[in-house]
Chain A
Amino acid sequence: MVWSSATVHLRIGELTPPFVLAYIDVDAGPRVLAQVVGGNEIPAGGLVRFTGEENGNLTVKAVGQ
């Protein structure tokens, strides 16, 4: 479940803006940071599924997309 997400408009290292980051509260697990696939923020409480890893970062996608 998404704790929060935000679009970043800054160039950070090799990352080209805009990109979307989210904190995800894993069911019965920790809070982890992930990059959101698809380029849109997901409201707090929204459900996501993990889609893999990109450059060492977890990636998630909104459920239903």
Chain B
Amino acid sequence: MSSRRVGIAGVGTSSFGRFPEQRIEELAWEAIAEAIDDSGLSVSEFDAAFVGSVFGPPGVANRVLAGAGLGGIPAFKIEAACASGTVALHEAQHAVASGRYDNVLAIGVEQLSTKFAGPIVPEPGDPEGRAGLAMPALYALQASRYVQQHQLDAALLAEVAVKNKAHGALNPRAHLSGTPPTSAEVLESRPIAGPLTLLQCCPMSDGAGAAVVTTLNASSNSHVEIMTSQFSSGPLWTSVDDAPWGFRTVASTAARAFTETGLSVQDVDVFEVHDAFTIGEILTLEAIGVAAQGQGAELAPSGHTQLGGPQPVNPSGGLLSRGHPLGSTGLAQTAELVWQLRGQAADRQVADAEIALLETMGGGAAGVDANACVIALLRGPTR
């Protein structure tokens, strides 16, 4: 099947934080308006929209589109746990590549402040839910295994939080954009589960993101090419091998992305990856191949993944600092990478960024390695 080259012509986001006084639609409208304005397209030129949301109300896709003046176009709601927004981007990319549509909006929107007072409660009908295995506990089990298996000091995990919160301090849209904590402050914050403390966990946030996906204009100085977008739903997570939860799914998805583009992980200048918990960033970077297994915990303290280092990871502050409104996260990551590749990221700009990697992995279904994982490789415009 022939395939068209696809670009992102515009991006936008809301601010991220706790906004219980707002309607969920308002969060989306802010992001949509910015993305459309950024793209130079008019509202009447859109053919369809894919909307990622986990806990949005019934009809959330039509609600946000109607109020944005986009009512009447096909609206697809996508739920893929934390990767909902990224799957929306993936579907938009394939819809344009295949010729099904020409101009598509990918949107992510979530409002957690009106749904949960504490952590997201797991499904009580699942064995994991019955046992109290909320997401912090699931990641804590990975963290505990990781530090014991590789004989590491658990304090190393905190360095990911220190790094991403320092990045987030440079992002005015981040949920936690204040003075970044020290390593000691991260470690002394309230215990949550296993070696994970409060500041090693993402905040429960509200927010929205949007991207205008269209046929690539290679001569444009604003279009960012989606070189590839790969999507996997995880198999059962069993004891067949010793891989941590989600690891095989992320690794195989990344391998497909690199094979399809002919790029290697060394070619990537900047990453936005799923760091809902500190251990998540470490395991993800090992699965992608940035570090060998057992060495990912050294990436942040060594400076490799810090702004100014060879391969900055989560310059936006990541989920740990920008926040993690589940369905929105993938589009927030996308917006950050588009700004980075255009040279529009202000104080957190990665110098000469040309190739970016976007990764989101959502989980939570009983016994499954990952509900969904999307990895996309993006190429910036010629500058």
A positions within 8 Å CB-CB of B: 3-13, 15, 19, 21-23, 25-26, 29-31, 33-35, 41, 43-44, 55-57
Q: Is the CB–CB distance between B191 and A5 below 8 Å?
A: no
Give the chain A neighbours of B59 by CB distance below 8 A. none
Binds A, one of B135-143, B156-164, B302-310, B351-359: B135-143
Q: Mark B189-201, 1 if CB is under 8 A from A, else 0.
A: 0111111000000
Contacts of A6 in B (CB 8 A): 137, 140-141, 143-144, 193-195
Question: Which of the residues A33, A41, A55 comes within 8 Å of B133, measured between beta carbons?
Answer: A33
Q: List 13 A-B contacts (CB under 8 A).
A: A3-B141, A4-B141, A4-B144, A5-B144, A8-B137, A9-B191, A10-B136, A19-B132, A21-B131, A21-B137, A26-B239, A44-B149, A55-B130
Q: A9-B193, A10-B119 are in contact. List 8 more A-B contacts (CB 8 A).
A: A4-B142, A4-B145, A7-B193, A8-B140, A9-B192, A22-B141, A33-B131, A41-B194
CB–CB A44/B148 < 8 A: yes
Q: Within the complex, which residue of A4, A22, A30, A33 is in contact with B128, where a contact is CB–CB below 8 Å?
A: A33
The answer to whether residues A21 and B136 also contact, given A31-B239, A57-B130, A57-B131 and a CB cut-off of 8 A, is no
The reply to whether A43 and B192 contact each other, CB–CB distance below 8 Å, is no
Could you say which residues of chain A place their CB within 8 Å of the CB of B122? Answer: 12
Residue in A22, A23, A29, A35 with the greatest tally of chain B CB atoms within 10 Å? A23
Query: Which of A26, A33, A34, A57 has the most chain B CB atoms closer than 10 A to its own CB?
Result: A33
Report Cα–Cα, A33/B237, bound state, in Å. 12
In chain B, residues 246-301, which have Cβ atoms closer than 8 Å to a Cβ of chain A? none
Q: Which residues of B contact A (CB under 8 A)?
A: 118-119, 121-122, 124, 127-134, 136-137, 140-145, 148-149, 190-195, 237-239
A23 x B148 contact (CB < 8 A):
no
Are the C-beta atoms of A44 and B137 separated by less than 8 Å? no
Contact of B194 with A44 in the complex, beta carbons under 8 Å = no
B118 with A41: CB separation less than 8 A: no
Contacting residue for A5 out of B121, B131, B141, B192, CB 8 A: B141
Distance in angstroms from B202 CB to nearest chain A CB is 14
A4-B141, A21-B141 given; A10·B130 CB < 8 A: no
**Whole-angstrom CA separation of A40 from B73 in the bound complex:** 56
The listed residue with most A CB atoms (<10 A of its CB), out of B121, B141, B143, B191, is: B141
Q: A21-B133, A43-B148 are in contact. Are A12 and B121 (CB under 8 A)?
A: yes
Cβ contacts under 8 Å, B190 to chain A: 9
User: Are B124 and A13 in contact, with the CB atoms below 8 A?
Assistant: yes
Known: A7-B193, A9-B192, A13-B121. A44 touches B145 (CB 8 A): yes
Interface centre among B131, B133, B143, B193 (most CB of A within 10 A): B131
A32 to chain B, nearest CB (A): 8
CA distance A41 to B124 in the complex (A): 23
Complex CA distance for A34 and B190, rounded to whole angstroms? 24
The complex places the Cα of A43 from the Cα of B194 at a distance, in Å, of 12
Interface centre among A7, A12, A43 (most CB of B within 10 A): A12
Which of B124, B148, B190, B193 has most chain A Cβ within 10 Å?
B193
Q: Which residues of A contact B127 (CB under 8 A)?
A: 33, 56-57
Task: Determine if A30 and B118 form an interchain contact, defined as CB atoms under 8 angstroms apart.
Answer: no
Contacts of A22 in B (CB 8 A): 141
Chain A residues closer than 8 Å to B121, beta-carbon distance: 12-13
What 8 pairs across the A-B complex have the smallest Cβ distances?
A6-B194, A4-B145, A31-B239, A12-B132, A6-B140, A15-B132, A4-B141, A44-B148
Interface centre among B122, B134, B239 (most CB of A within 10 A): B239
Q: Is the CB of A10 within 8 A of B118?
A: yes
Please indicate the chain B residues that have their CB under 8 angstroms from the CB of A34 in the complex: 131
In the complex, which residues of chain B have a beta carbon less than 8 angstroms from the beta carbon of A5? 141, 144, 194
Question: Hey, which chain A residues are within 8 Å of B118, CB to CB?
Answer: 10-11
Complex alpha-carbon distance, A48 and B130, angstroms = 21
CA distance A42 to B133 in the complex (A): 17
Residues of chain A within 8 A (CB-CB) of B144 are 4-6, 41, 44
